[in-house]
């Protein structure tokens, strides 16, 4: 079982992910659904080990056997790049491949909110793209960075785990750092990036206190910082940023965040009603004076009301976004209901059209 042939099959079928796990046949995720490839033989421990040795270098194999976990990027020239995770389960390896296209899709091609174009051209501040794993955060950020690359002259440094989309200098100059190969941690890379004359810093994942604190400082000192969090909505995102700090520091962090937060984009993916592909629905929080005041005074519980009434400022709740997609027949009502945290409200919004 040649792993490169399986990856070609993955691309031909338009799958986003490939899973190799003993003793199942290869499994593809197509439009969000896991589909076992029943016409292929079941994966054996030998198959997985041979695939692992084919896609890794000796140093990566040593790292895996030491940690029992490994993230890496793998490419097939002319086909695609893949983000790969290897883990140990029940005494055998399990490998997951996530497909990353060579070409970076545009904001318009992805049907992202047009405000993404305005936000990424801001001179400074903090922009967060949030959502569960596999919701398309990396693709959204890549499209935003590419839009900036085509429209302004900035020095951009990205810190990723691993590097997914490859950016090429257009109007901007771009350095992409891979966690593990190019740097030891997000926090260390962020500190050193500040000494590299950046205008824009992209932090692939703001996962700990040190990284979040340094990112806030970077935004506060005049840089544009883009980052991701695994939170499900804008309110939870703001609360998470504050709650990671000790109680005695939270007042100061609220003050800092109220001054330099620009936007929170929380996204989720839904299958299209036509049955081909997926589309993202966004909750959008824009840091208006009212929003900044609520963050500063610890009244984030009032943010949902501001979001629902903030259409003129570019804001929308997730339910409003889902209702628009249902109204335009882009997604099915039942799919939208499954993604909503308040299905009753969504029913009222959909019924109002």
* pLDDT tens by residue, 277-292: 899 999 999 999 999 9
Judgement on whether residues 211 and 177 belong to the same structural domain of the protein: yes
249 belongs to a structural domain: yes
Judgement on whether residues 312 and 178 belong to the same structural domain of the protein: yes
Q: How many domains does the chain have?
A: 2
In this predicted model, which residue has the larger pLDDT, 352 or 118? Answer: 118
Helix (H, G, I), strand (E, B), or coil: what is residue 309? Answer: coil
195 belongs to a structural domain: yes
* pLDDT(262) > 90: yes
171 belongs to a structural domain: yes
Q: Where are the beta strands (DSSP E) in the chain?
A: 17-21, 27-30, 33-36, 69-76, 80-89, 92-100, 125-130, 155-160, 173-178, 200-203, 224-229, 261-271, 278-286
Rounded percentage of the chain residues whose pLDDT exceeds 70: 99
Q: How far is Cα 234 from Cα 90, in angstroms, rounded to an integer? A: 38
Q: What pLDDT, on the 0 to 100 scale, is given for residue 351?
A: 84
Q: What pLDDT, on the 0 to 100 scale, is given for residue 162?
A: 83
Judgement on whether residues 242 and 130 belong to the same structural domain of the protein: yes
Q: How far is Cα 100 from Cα 81, in angstroms, rounded to an integer? A: 5
Judgement on whether residues 182 and 56 belong to the same structural domain of the protein: no
Judgement on whether residues 202 and 142 belong to the same structural domain of the protein: yes
Judgement on whether residues 166 and 262 belong to the same structural domain of the protein: yes
Dump pLDDT digits (tens) for 140-184. 999 999 999 999 999 999 999 888 899 999 999 999 999 878 998
Domain encompassing residue 240: 115-316
Give the chain's mean pLDDT.
95
316 to 129, 281, 346: CA distances (angstroms): 15, 10, 13
Judgement on whether residues 91 and 131 belong to the same structural domain of the protein: no
Judgement on whether residues 190 and 285 belong to the same structural domain of the protein: yes
181 belongs to a structural domain: yes
The residue out of 100, 133, 151 marking a domain boundary is: 100
Lookup result for tokens 């794993």: 133
Query: Containing H/E element for 298?
Result: none
Judgement on whether residues 85 and 202 belong to the same structural domain of the protein: no
Judgement on whether residues 277 and 237 belong to the same structural domain of the protein: yes
Kindly report the CATH number assigned to the domain that includes residue 59. Answer: 3.30.450.90
Lookup result for tokens 């799958």: 15
84 belongs to a structural domain: yes
Judgement on whether residues 148 and 279 belong to the same structural domain of the protein: yes
User: What is the maximum span of the chain, computed from C-alpha positions, in angstroms?
Assistant: 60
The residue out of 100, 132, 155 marking a domain boundary is: 100
Mean pLDDT, range 237-245, rounded to an integer? 97
348 belongs to a structural domain: no
Judgement on whether residues 18 and 137 belong to the same structural domain of the protein: no
Kindly report the CATH number assigned to the domain that includes residue 157. Answer: 3.40.50.300
Q: Where residue 211 falls among pLDDT bands split at 50, 70, 90?
A: very high
327 belongs to a structural domain: no
* pLDDT(312) > 50: yes
The residue out of 76, 100, 124 marking a domain boundary is: 100
321 belongs to a structural domain: no
């Amino acid at each position: 079982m040649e792993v490169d042939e399986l990856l070609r099959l993955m691309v031909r079928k338009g799958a986003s992910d490939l899973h190799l796990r003993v003793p199942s046949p290869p499994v593809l995720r197509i439009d969000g659904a896991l589909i076992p490839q029943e016409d292929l033989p079941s994966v054996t421990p030998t198959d997985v080990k041979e695939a692992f040795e084919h896609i890794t270098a000796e140093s990566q194999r040593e790292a895996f056997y030491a940690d029992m976990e490994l993230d890496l990027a793998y490419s097939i020239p002319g086909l695609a790049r893949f983000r790969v995770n290897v883990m140990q389960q029940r005494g055998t390896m399990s490998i997951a491949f996530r497909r990353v296209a060579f070409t970076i899709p545009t904001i318009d091609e992805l049907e992202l909110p047009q405000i993404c174009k305005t936000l990424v051209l801001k001179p400074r501040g903090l922009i967060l793209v949030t959502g569960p794993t596999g919701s398309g955060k990396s693709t959204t950020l890549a499209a935003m960075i590419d839009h900036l690359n085509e429209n302004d002259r900035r020095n951009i440094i990205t810190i990723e785990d691993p590097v997914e989309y490859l950016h090429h200098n257009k109007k901007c100059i771009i350095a992409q750092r891979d966690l593990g190969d190019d740097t030891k941690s997000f926090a260390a890379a962020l500190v050193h990036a500040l000494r590299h004359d950046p205008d824009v810093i992209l932090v692939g994942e703001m996962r700990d206190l040190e990284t979040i604190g340094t990112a806030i400082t970077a935004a506060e000192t005049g840089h544009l910082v883009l980052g991701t969090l695994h939170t499900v909505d804008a309110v939870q995102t703001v609360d998470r940023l504050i709650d990671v700090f000790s109680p005695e520091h939270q007042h100061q962090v609220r003050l800092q965040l109220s001054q330099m937060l620009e936007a929170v984009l929380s996204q989720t993916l839904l299958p299209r009603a036509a049955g081909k592909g997926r589309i993202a629905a966004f909750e959008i929080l824009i840091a208006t004076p009212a929003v900044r005041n609520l963050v500063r005074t610890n009244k984030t519980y009032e943010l949902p009301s501001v979001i629902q009434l903030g259409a003129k400022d570019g804001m929308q709740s997730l339910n409003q976004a889902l209702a628009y997609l249902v109204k335009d027949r882009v997604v099915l009502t039942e799919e939208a209901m499954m993604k909503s945290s308040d299905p009753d409200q969504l029913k009222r919004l959909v019924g109002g059209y």
